[in-house]
């Protein structure tokens, strides 16, 4: 294990990423609460801004409050208290059709008896647009989602991905100020789902529109979002860009929900101007970053599996080195998933490059290392 880590190294690793220019808020949730029974809160004191042209994802497990929040923004649910502002105007009492918002849902909600073109035209006819304008906008929307020749087909004659494109075109055809998407890719297979993620993101960037997207799929959120609001128990646990969210989670829930993670019990042993050091359950010690801001008990050390390497392969003076017994190995193409016995745990997970794991066998004892900057101290 390494010796003292100079403070200068800690400081360099803790520099925040360059902040993006501030966006003018298009959506503002101000102290919003929602209860269905008058007792328990599904959404608890929500404060959140969504900037113009931003792709913001609400991510969380079932029952976390993310879909209820989207429904309140869309006008399908009314807040118990608080305000929702759209372009600076309170809209919590306005019905959905008065909010100039486009919607895309998981079940597509297409009219089966209408053609593709008629489905896309429906919001325009509801708004009493002229026939000429309707035809022009529908043609442009079809081209936008690469379905130029599909206007005369019925939804039942389309694949799932094509139906999703029609639903997206219908949400965009009247040029809304905001588009809401609730688990829109949940019914698609993995390959098509990934393709549609890139298509939707590309379209959002090209048009410069604001999107609020709900999903429970972490990889989908990381791929598409400018920022991700992680919901749990009716509250936002952390709202940040994907890189910050992944590399610098603020608590154990975020760390465990976003990507694979090892969360190991630890105690803060030393925190001075030169270094932070934690004691693990087996008595071993590691250098770490970010001292806890609150209580000094019930701490965990967060280590991403892909940050652990076989010692000597990516050696650095800033790496923590440790001995571990290999429990199991699973070949996964470009890497091998190892379970290790170390730090008082028999379930430490490491994702090691396949070439570096050559020669390792279950039961072997070997040296591994992890950069101290990837050892983060977390509270509950």
Distance between CA atoms of 58 and 182, rounded to whole angstroms? 10
Q: How far is CA 223 from CA 201, 202, 217, 252, in A?
A: 9, 11, 10, 22
**Is the model's pLDDT at 87 over the cut of 50?**
yes
Residue 243 shares a structural domain with residue 145: yes
Lowest mean pLDDT, pick from 161-170, 185-194, 326-335: 185-194
Q: Is residue 69 part of a domain?
A: yes
**Is the model's pLDDT at 287 over the cut of 50?**
yes
**Is the model's pLDDT at 141 over the cut of 80?**
yes
Domain end, chosen from 247, 278, 295, is at 247
- pLDDT of the residue at 6: 32
- pLDDT of the residue at 316: 73
Residue 340 CA, chain-centre distance (Å), reads 28
Q: Is residue 10 part of a domain?
A: no
| Per-residue pLDDT band at 5 (split at 50, 70, 90) | very low
Q: Is residue 281 part of a domain?
A: yes
Bridge partners for 81 per DSSP = 33
Q: Residues 238, 278: contact at Cβ < 8 Å?
A: no
Residue 192 shares a structural domain with residue 272: no
Q: Is residue 6 part of a domain?
A: no
- pLDDT of the residue at 189: 84
- pLDDT of the residue at 368: 95
Residue 61 shares a structural domain with residue 93: yes
Residue 216 shares a structural domain with residue 164: yes
| Per-residue pLDDT band at 270 (split at 50, 70, 90) | confident
**Is the model's pLDDT at 255 over the cut of 80?**
yes
Residue 141 shares a structural domain with residue 231: yes
Q: Is residue 3 part of a domain?
A: no
Q: Is residue 231 part of a domain?
A: yes
| Per-residue pLDDT band at 18 (split at 50, 70, 90) | very low
**Is the model's pLDDT at 17 over the cut of 50?**
no
Q: Residues 379, 299: contact at Cβ < 8 Å?
A: yes
Please calculate the CA angle 130-135-136 and round it to the nearest 5 degrees: 100
Residue 58 shares a structural domain with residue 135: yes
Residue 266 shares a structural domain with residue 236: no
Lowest mean pLDDT, pick from 98-112, 289-303, 349-363: 289-303
Kindly report the pTM of this predicted structure.
0.86
For 229-243, what is the HEC assignment?
Answer: EEEECCEEEEEECHH
CATH number reported for the structural domain that contains residue 49 in this entry: 3.40.50.300
Residue 265 shares a structural domain with residue 243: no
Which residue carries 């977390």 as its tokens? 378
**Is the model's pLDDT at 274 over the cut of 80?**
no
Residue 234 shares a structural domain with residue 161: yes
- pLDDT of the residue at 3: 37
Other CB atoms within 10 Å distance of the CB of residue 91: 21
**Is the model's pLDDT at 20 over the cut of 60?**
no
Residue 217 shares a structural domain with residue 320: no
Domains held by the chain: number: 2
Domain end, chosen from 190, 223, 247, is at 247
Residue 197 shares a structural domain with residue 302: no
Q: Is residue 253 part of a domain?
A: no
Report, as an integer, the average pLDDT of 287-312: 87
Distance between CA atoms of 141 and 186, rounded to whole angstroms? 23
Q: Which of 22-26, 187-191, 251-255 has the highest mean pLDDT?
A: 251-255
Residue 237 shares a structural domain with residue 283: no
Helix (H, G, I), strand (E, B) or coil at 191: helix
Lowest mean pLDDT, pick from 57-61, 71-75, 205-209, 346-350: 205-209
Q: Is residue 11 part of a domain?
A: no
CATH number reported for the structural domain that contains residue 293 in this entry: 2.40.50.140
Instruction: Give me the domain span that covers residue 31.
Output: 25-247
Q: Which residue has the higher pLDDT, 261 or 272?
A: 261
**Of 185, 153, 152, 154, which is closest to residue 168 (Cα–Cα)?**
185
């Amino acid at each position: 294990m390494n010796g003292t880590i100079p403070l200068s190294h800690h400081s360099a690793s803790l520099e925040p990423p360059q902040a993006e220019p501030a966006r003018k808020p298009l959506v503002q949730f101000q102290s919003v609460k929602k209860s269905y029974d008058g007792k328990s809160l599904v959404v608890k004191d929500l404060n959140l801004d969504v900037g113009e042209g931003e792709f913001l994802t609400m991510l969380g497990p079932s029952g976390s409050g993310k879909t209820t929040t989207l429904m309140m923004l869309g006008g399908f649910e009314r807040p118990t208290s608080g305000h929702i502002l759209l372009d600076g105007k309170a809209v919590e009492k306005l019905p959905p059709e008065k909010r100039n918002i486009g919607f895309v849902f998981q079940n597509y909600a297409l009219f089966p008896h209408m053609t593709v073109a008629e489905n896309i035209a429906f919001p325009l006819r509801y708004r009493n647009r002229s026939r000429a304008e309707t035809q022009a906008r529908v043609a442009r929307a079809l081209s936008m989602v690469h379905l130029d020749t599909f206007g005369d087909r019925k939804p039942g004659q389309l694949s799932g991905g094509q139906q999703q494109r029609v639903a997206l075109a219908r949400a965009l055809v009247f040029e809304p100020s905001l588009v809401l998407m609730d688990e829109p890719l949940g019914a698609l297979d993995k390959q098509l789902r990934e393709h549609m993620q890139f298509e939707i993101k590309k379209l959002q960037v090209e048009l410069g529109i604001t999107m609020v997207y709900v999903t429970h799929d972490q990889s989908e959120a990381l791929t598409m979002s400018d920022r991700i609001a992680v919901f749990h128990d009716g509250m936002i646990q952390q709202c940040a860009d994907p890189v910050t969210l992944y590399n610098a989670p603020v608590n154990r829930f975020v760390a465990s929900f976003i990507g694979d993670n090892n969360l190991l019990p630890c105690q803060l042993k030393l925190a001075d101007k030169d270094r932070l050091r934690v004691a693990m359950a087996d008595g071993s010690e590691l250098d770490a970053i970010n001292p806890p801001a609150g209580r000094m008990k019930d701490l965990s050390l967060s280590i991403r599996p892909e940050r652990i390497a076989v010692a000597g392969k990516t050696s650095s003076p800033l790496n923590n080195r440790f001995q571990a017994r290999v429990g199991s190995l699973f070949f996964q193409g470009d890497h091998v998933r190892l379970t290790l016995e170390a730090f008082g745990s028999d379930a430490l997970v490491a994702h090691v490059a396949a070439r570096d794991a050559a020669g390792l066998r279950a039961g072997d004892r070997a040296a591994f290392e992890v950069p101290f900057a990837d050892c983060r101290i977390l509270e509950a």
